[in-house]
Structure 1
């Protein structure tokens, strides 16, 4: 499948060439659908990362044996030179070894030519139905060809690890064990992100081809690296597409190689020379250190789900986050003295107190400089950048010289999710974002008015509306707000009884076992100003009960669970213990213990 570039250049006033304005980039063809292939590879890497048995050394050694002795001869017999690869897929362990092997194109090509006198390709399967068919077809052929060999890896982990016959391939597989950590962010699988990454990958190939004699090492950004690895995983198409660049691609830094700042700087300068754009972008950063590690700390918490985990409570609206990156470059035509000028960033909506200032004198004329890299909620709508001139000794305050706005929706529709703006003919600004992805819910509980047994706030207004019928009961109430300060729930705890009219009645306390806690879904029904009634729908309750001997407090939940709290103290340490369990399903019970040393 041919894949041609059809993006346009970055908008804004700029005299430099951009990706969409270079015919060589637009004409560059890639034989595989990189967008679909990258999505499939990310999902495959996630499955590999979650399949713990696949990383046991005994299983890996056996998978390599099955790959060398069974799978490659099988697929070689089915492969016809010059035609598309056969529609078969091996079992997971063999496919993982195959994938790792293809990420070293030179070694894989030599291996295939030495053993089979031809390059073995991989079928482009991006549909679940076709993938299942290819796997079942492979299983049938496998069973006929190797009746004594199980299709799945059934290595016994209790036996001694067999002798390693292919140390080089074992090193490749071991090296890529944590490859998913490089691309685990949720936005990596979004179509718009992958289309932009494909566009930039073609620009990167053009840059490598054009400047191969001027640079010894090219460092790919993370989005370009994803596309490059995806391209490599289809070896016949990769070899055909880049047959004229085979020597040049050896200068590209591979995924786990450490890079030097000098190499990164050279790559950035060459990109800016070719396209007059900053090389890095939101979701397209460069990591100077590439150690093999099981956990990578991200500045943004991207833990999300493919589907909304909340399917029950309509009062909770999902929250979306995106990453925004802004680069600044001074305009060469600027003749003014920028010593007393500064650039301010603020949000288009919300966060009125957020104002980030940077002096314009800190920016450069000859290169793009990363100024801000932020995580923003999609509800903020966008960012505003303003140029101010500071007042002199005789004038106080600062005067606004110019302003530009980047809207999230506008950036999402732009090529590569990137836009360029010019402020007051002095400063060029490039903004880029990642596609918004659903983030964890963010809830805040704030105190509210005391309510009665019916849920109405204790108030003269409610009394008058009820024709001065006394309000019975006292409940401490709190309102739960979401990330946009919308009311989602009302939490109430019964603390007193008695009636309230307009006198000085004192409520009577209730027993511990009567101090019920309830959660109501929805927002207050306001009758006037801030006076109102709690929503009627009760979705959960917690009823206190007499705790067992070793515990201090206990509650029964309306879900059938029970929560118990206990604490212990001594002269040197105090411990707080929690237990949450369900008598109907004891296996789901959990407990925690926190200790605090007393100094």
Structure 2
């Protein structure tokens, strides 16, 4: 019976893959990601009068010009659409039914993308610009940010103009890029898998329609990216989907309620259940789940830098002063789906213990998972590790013993799973199969016990550099650390900087030196001295005037300027501009459930550049514990030196890190007083940070993926957010609609070592109604309970769900995509 069911499920999957798509979705998805990144660098397109003007230009100029060109070509080559018009057009097309009806009403046919080139493709746009200027002499081809004329009244006078609320559509779509901006989203193997899953998504919807099931379908973000890509080619989309499903699939992103039990939550649960029953493979996917809400922006004004110069760029190409180990990291999602061939007389409950045979610096504990077919509860473990070695599994049976309050545990068999088979090189990112167990000694059985293991990987990426500063004892006579000749000496107390592997890379000391010609006046120069692994000693930083000069003038660390408006405290200036902000910002922004730490303990280093005009978080400095996380190799040494200096300054001023209020922190005063520290250089007491609450794709500590608090509220758009590790159950009555994301994220306590969550969801009730929506993310990153083992890696547990209803024609997908699911009986 089981084999027949598996054959049926495989047949359904192969049937789904036969759906014909007339667009090169792989190339088009990559182009969409490139375009969304360009829009995100021009955030004036997200809101305000500039958005209103872009909408006016789209209606008054672009659509009429495109209609003329498609009717009778007005240029020899394709038209190049201006960036602002392309963004509005993008959002309009993501409501395919409305876009189709608007085009047919205003222009008699669907205005397609077939003879248009994106503004970000780098092709010559001169011909299109000349044609534009001929038709619209009073409207520049490129958007003029200085143009301040109000357009609200003008747009109402246009002869042809959609009355679709494009402002709201833009706001719903704006958060989508954050969810799909991770590096692996551009990987060919990941995208090919996403295209296959998109076809499976369409097939599920078709089966539901044929069975009159009104459960709307909610995509994960990989599926949603491909769905968006398909819709951006409206003629092909209407043709392909109509042929596959019998009618056009709507994409309504209006709903943004993430609450538990609401239609987005219930819809994702239903999608998960239908998917896994139909195809026999997991719906969750590593790298395709909800990342949490967008980080709070640091500024609304893009940064314009003129600091680059040939001298600074040349000075940055210095000899490598420290050696760092390069490590890759991968996100892993794991579920034990079933077990078969158990001995006939077997009694007791079953669970699986798993760990890495060769523990690495990111994952080095043993975890416990229940088996879906045995417990009825869906547990999905999420963790991060190096993309090598083997996952080792033990099937354990436990039953009550004769002694009160005790149980007998017995290992019934073991097996392993090689990561290198899939990741070196990357070949397959999702695997679900039956694996035979090797029996333990004395357990001879006729048929080997088998586990059905489902595992999903993200594409390996470079791990951030994680460094710890640790106070060293006074040096012995045999130490390789030598004092500098001719300088004022202090007791040999150093701070060692070590990597995650505990390998020491450099040692630092703050010194007060006196130059010969300054001795009479007793003027002390503050310096940071470094000792390399080779034993070589050098001056890494020196206080000059009102700022610190780092690495032979390659970088300067200086306090904020009086005119500073964005709230940063210090600037690190060299061949790049890096600003230091108090607290955890952008990618390092804490989630609701993260262990509370004072924001004054941290500083976030944010790079501003032409590529990142609104800032990119490149390092996190924990000035209290001495933990430094750096994303870019060029920043490692400047970040270490800066963290050492800032901690020393604040210690001297009596601050325990930044424990004072922001208003009381007078940076200029601290810098002035830092000139003349005469007392002995006090070393920083620094220990390794061991927080388990780390953020997805940012932190690599001991295998936990994001833990967030309740994410309520709206997040618009297709892609603006949606559920995370969510739950699915049996579906009963109907529910509809779709929107941008939903779900709570609640993390609880973890076991021994304090990393990793166990997420558990309870029973969910039914919901009625019916709506049109296929989409929008949803789900909960459900509550984590106590985990018994060493505490790394998240485990999500879901219970039975009461019932959710069918799908009313998939009226849209709003953003997002749910995440890990709880699928019960």
**2:429 touches 2:459 (CA, 8 Å); kept in 1?**
no
Corresponding residue of 2:50: 59
Answer yes or no: is 1:193 the counterpart of 2:190.
Answer: yes
Answer yes or no: is 1:283 the counterpart of 2:291.
Answer: no
Task: Summarize the Cα distance change of 1:17–1:444 in structure 2 as closer, same or farther, 3 Å threshold.
Answer: farther
Write out per-residue CA displacement over residues 154-201 of structure 1, whole angstroms, 9 at most, x where no aligned residue: 255755563354452333223222221231223222222111111111
State the shift of 1:331 in Å.
3.1
Write out per-residue CA displacement over residues 448-485 of structure 1, whole angstroms, 9 at most, x where no aligned residue: 57569997259xxxxxxxxxxxxx99643444332344
**1:579 touches 1:590 (CA, 8 Å); kept in 2?**
yes
Corresponding residue of 2:455: 431
Answer yes or no: is 1:99 the counterpart of 2:90.
Answer: yes
Task: Summarize the Cα distance change of 1:556–1:62 in structure 2 as closer, same or farther, 3 Å threshold.
Answer: closer
State the shift of 1:279 in Å.
1.3
**1:88 touches 1:123 (CA, 8 Å); kept in 2?**
no
State the shift of 1:233 in Å.
0.9
Corresponding residue of 1:404: 415
Answer yes or no: is 1:173 the counterpart of 2:170.
Answer: yes
Alignment length, in residue pairs?
A: 509
Give the whole-Å Cα distance in 2 for the aligned partners of 1:125 and 1:444: 52
Answer yes or no: is 1:317 the counterpart of 2:325.
Answer: yes
Matches within 5 A, 1:46-445: 46-79=37-70, 87-123=78-114, 131-133=121-123, 135-154=125-144, 156=146, 159-160=149-150, 162-163=152-153, 165=156, 166-214=163-211, 215-216=213-214, 217-245=216-244, 250=249, 254=253, 257-258=256-257, 259-285=263-289, 294-295=294-295, 313=320, 315-331=323-339, 334=342, 335=344, 337=346, 339-350=348-359, 354-360=365-371, 363-364=372-373, 369-374=378-383, 376-378=384-386, 381-390=389-398, 392-393=401-402, 398-412=409-423, 413-422=426-435, 424=437, 425-445=449-469
Give the whole-Å Cα distance in 2 for the aligned partners of 1:112 and 1:140: 25
Task: Summarize the Cα distance change of 1:203–1:81 in structure 2 as closer, same or farther, 3 Å threshold.
Answer: farther
SS in 2 for 1:404: strand
Corresponding residue of 2:528: 517
| TM-score, normalised by the number of residues in structure 2 | 0.53
**1:386 touches 1:402 (CA, 8 Å); kept in 2?**
yes
SS in 2 for 1:67: helix
Write out per-residue CA displacement over residues 322-372 of structure 1, whole angstroms, 9 at most, x where no aligned residue: 221112222365456463433112123325851112455xx3359782420
SS in 2 for 1:431: strand
**1:453 touches 1:475 (CA, 8 Å); kept in 2?**
no
Corresponding residue of 2:645: none
State the shift of 1:234 in Å.
1.3
User: What value does the CA root-mean-square deviation take over the aligned residues?
Assistant: 4.5
SS in 2 for 1:372: strand
Tell me which structure has the larger Cα radius of gyration: 1
**1:482 touches 1:488 (CA, 8 Å); kept in 2?**
yes
**2:348 touches 2:398 (CA, 8 Å); kept in 1?**
no
Write out per-residue CA displacement over residues 548-587 of structure 1, whole angstroms, 9 at most, x where no aligned residue: 8xxxxx865444466689xxxxxxxxxxx976678x99x9
Corresponding residue of 2:508: 491
**2:350 touches 2:374 (CA, 8 Å); kept in 1?**
no
**2:45 touches 2:84 (CA, 8 Å); kept in 1?**
yes
Mean Cα displacement is larger for which, 28-37 or 216-225?
Answer: 28-37
Mean Cα displacement is larger for which, 271-280 or 153-162?
Answer: 153-162
Mean Cα displacement is larger for which, 392-401 or 379-388?
Answer: 392-401
Give the whole-Å Cα distance in 1 for the aligned partners of 2:325 and 2:348: 46
Write out per-residue CA displacement over residues 101-141 of structure 1, whole angstroms, 9 at most, x where no aligned residue: 1101111111221222222211488999x922253332232
**1:475 touches 1:494 (CA, 8 Å); kept in 2?**
no
**2:329 touches 2:385 (CA, 8 Å); kept in 1?**
yes
Larger relative contact order (C-alpha < 8 A, sep ≥ 6)?
Answer: 2
Corresponding residue of 1:3: none
State the shift of 1:398 in Å.
4.5
Gaps spanning 5+ residues in structure 2: where? 157-162, 258-262, 298-315, 438-448, 483-488, 514-521, 560-567, 583-599, 601-657, 665-825
